[in-house]
C-alpha cells in the first residue's frame, strides 16, 4: 500500500467526527497527506445508512467524504475501547470531533483532558451553535442552520415559500473553516510548540458565508429578502430565456455589459442613461430585462453560450449535476479520480486544490466499518510514542 505523501505527510489525525462537516474536513486533510484514523461507534457513521443512492451496497453520501481514512470501531462506554481512544488522542497531532459541546468529557476525550497528556495537539471542535450556555445544548443540523441563519429567507421566488439550498451548504462551509483553523493552528504550533483548541460552529460559518447579505444588515441596516434568481446589486446577473431554454448571463461591470449588448445587436443600450452604469441597470432592471430577452429569443441557449462567451461576457447553461461533471471534463479539470486499487477502486470527486509540488494523494478508498480495527488496536496497544519522521509506528 502506498504511503502518504503531500504537504501534511507525517501528521496523525484522530477523527472522532461523523456525518458531514467533520468528515469533510478530515478527508481534505487526508488528501493532503495526513494519516487519518476514523473512530466510529460499533453502529458506524450515520451516513453509512443514508441511502439511496448506493454503490456496491454502500451509501454514496458516505463514500463522498471518507476516502483516505482507516476505520476503527470503538465503544467509548467500554473501558478497553475508551483506553484505546485516549491513547489515539495522546499520539495525535490533530483531533477533530463534532459531538455536542462537552459530550466527550465523561470519556476523558475533551480538550482539557487530551491536551494535558498531549500539549501539542490541535483539537478541533465543530458544533451547531457554539459552546456557550445558549447554544451548547442545541443539536446542530444543517437544515436548522439554513433556517435560523436567514439563508432560507433568501432562497426562492419573491412572495413564495422559503427553500433550503440543494446541498448541506453550511456543513460543508464549517468543514472548510475547520480545515483552515487546523492548518493555522499547526503553523502556530511550529512556532511555539503548543497546540490549541479550534472551535467552529455552523451558525457562525453561515453568517460569515452569507457575505454580502449578512453585511447588508450589519453594515447597512437592510434586511435582504427573496429575489428568486436575481441579484440585489447587479443586473444582468441571472438566467434569461433564449429560444429553447435559459442561459445564465453575468455582466458584472460596464465593459461586460457593453460587449453583451453589442453581440446582441443593441449597442445603443450601453449609452441609454437608464443602463449606463451598474447602479442604473440595477434600478431599471424591469425595463432592461425585456429588451435583452427580446434579442435572446432569436437563438438557442447553446448558440448564445458560444457567441456571448466568445465576446468575453461570462455566461453558462443551467446543467444537471451530470452536465456539470461533463463540463469540468471538457475544460480539462479532470474532476473524477479513482481511489484505491483496480479491484476496489471507488470513483470520487477530485480535491479542488492544485499544488505544483505536493499534489493531493488518493491512496485509500472509503473504509468499511472497523476495516482497519485489528491493526490500529495492535498499534495503540504497543504504547509506543510515534516518531512523525517514520512510518513503522503508524497503522500499517
Kindly report each contact of residues 77-83 with a partner whose C-beta sits within 8 Å and lies 24 or more positions away, as own/partner: 82/107, 82/108
Cα separation of 196 and 200, whole Å?
A: 13
Q: Where are the alpha helices (H) located in 7-105, listed in sequence order?
A: 21-31, 60-63, 79-91
Are the C-beta atoms of residues 34 and 340 closer than 8 Å to each other?
Answer: no
Q: What is the CA radius of gyration of the chain?
A: 25
Are the C-beta atoms of residues 92 and 121 closer than 8 Å to each other?
Answer: yes
CB contact burial 277-290 (16+ within 10 A = b; e otherwise): ebebbbeebeebbe
Q: Residue written as cell 502506498?
A: 2
Of 315, 192, 171, residue with least CA distance to 242? 315
- Which residues are bridge partners to 201 per DSSP? 127
Q: Which of 93, 142, 171, 370 is catalytic?
A: 171
Interstrand relation of 196-201 and 237-241 (parallel, antiparallel or unpaired): unpaired
Are the C-beta atoms of residues 156 and 127 closer than 8 Å to each other?
Answer: no
Has 171 been annotated as catalytic? yes
Are the C-beta atoms of residues 106 and 64 closer than 8 Å to each other?
Answer: no
- What lies within 8 Å, CB to CB, of 252 at 6+ separation is 234, 237, 278, 314
Q: Which residues are catalytic?
A: 171
Amino acid at each position: 500500500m502506498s504511503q502518504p505523501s503531500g504537504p501534511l505527510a507525517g501528521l496523525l489525525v484522530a477523527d472522532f467526527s461523523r456525518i458531514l462537516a467533520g468528515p469533510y474536513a478530515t478527508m481534505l486533510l487526508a488528501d493532503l497527506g495526513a494519516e487519518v484514523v476514523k473512530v466510529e461507534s460499533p453502529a458506524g457513521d450515520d451516513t453509512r445508512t443514508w441511502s439511496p443512492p448506493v454503490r456496491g451496497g454502500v451509501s454514496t453520501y458516505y463514500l463522498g467524504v471518507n476516502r483516505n481514512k482507516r476505520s476503527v470501531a470503538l465503544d467509548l462506554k467500554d473501558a478497553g475501547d475508551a483506553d484505546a481512544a485516549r491513547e489515539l488522542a495522546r499520539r495525535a497531532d490533530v483531533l477533530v470531533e463534532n459531538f455536542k459541546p462537552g459530550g466527550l468529557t465523561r470519556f476523558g476525550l475533551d480538550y482539557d483532558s487530551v491536551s494535558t497528556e498531549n500539549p501539542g495537539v490541535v483539537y478541533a471542535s465543530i458544533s451547531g451553535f457554539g459552546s456557550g450556555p445558549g447554544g451548547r445544548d442545541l443539536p446542530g443540523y444543517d437544515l436548522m442552520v439554513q433556517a435560523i441563519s436567514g439563508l432560507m429567507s433568501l432562497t426562492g421566488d419573491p412572495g413564495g415559500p422559503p427553500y433550503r439550498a440543494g446541498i448541506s451548504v453550511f456543513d460543508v462551509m464549517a468543514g472548510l473553516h475547520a480545515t483552515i483553523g487546523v492548518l493555522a493552528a499547526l503553523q502556530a504550533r511550529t512556532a511555539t510548540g503548543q497546540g490549541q483548541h479550534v472551535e467552529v460552529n455552523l451558525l457562525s460559518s453561515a453568517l460569515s458565508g452569507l457575505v454580502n447579505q449578512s453585511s447588508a444588515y450589519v453594515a447597512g441596516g437592510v434586511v435582504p429578502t427573496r429575489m428568486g434568481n436575481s441579484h440585489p446589486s447587479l443586473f444582468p446577473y441571472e438566467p434569461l430565456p433564449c429560444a429553447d431554454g435559459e442561459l445564465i448571463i453575468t455582466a458584472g461591470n460596464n465593459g461586460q455589459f457593453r460587449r453583451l449588448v453589442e453581440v446582441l445587436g443593441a449597442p445603443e443600450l450601453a449609452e441609454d442613461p437608464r443602463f449606463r452604469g451598474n447602479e442604473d441597470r440595477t434600478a431599471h432592471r424591469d425595463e432592461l430585462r425585456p429588451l435583452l430577452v427580446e434579442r435572446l429569443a432569436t437563438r438557442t441557449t447553446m448558440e448564445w453560450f458560444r457567441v456571448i462567451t466568445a465576446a468575453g461576457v461570462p455566461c453558462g447553461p443551467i446543467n444537471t449535476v451530470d452536465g456539470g461533471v461533463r463540463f469540468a471534463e471538457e475544460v480539462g479539470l479532470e474532476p473524477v479520480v479513482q481511489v484505491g486499487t483496480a479491484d476496489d477502486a471507488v470513483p470520487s470527486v477530485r480535491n479542488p486544490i492544485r499544488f505544483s509540488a505536493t499534489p493531493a494523494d488518493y491512496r485509500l478508498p472509503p473504509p468499511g466499518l472497523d476495516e482497519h480495527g485489528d491493526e490500529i488496536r495492535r498499534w495503540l496497544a504497543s504504547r509506543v510514542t510515534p516518531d512523525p519522521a517514520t512510518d513503522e509506528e503508524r497503522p500499517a
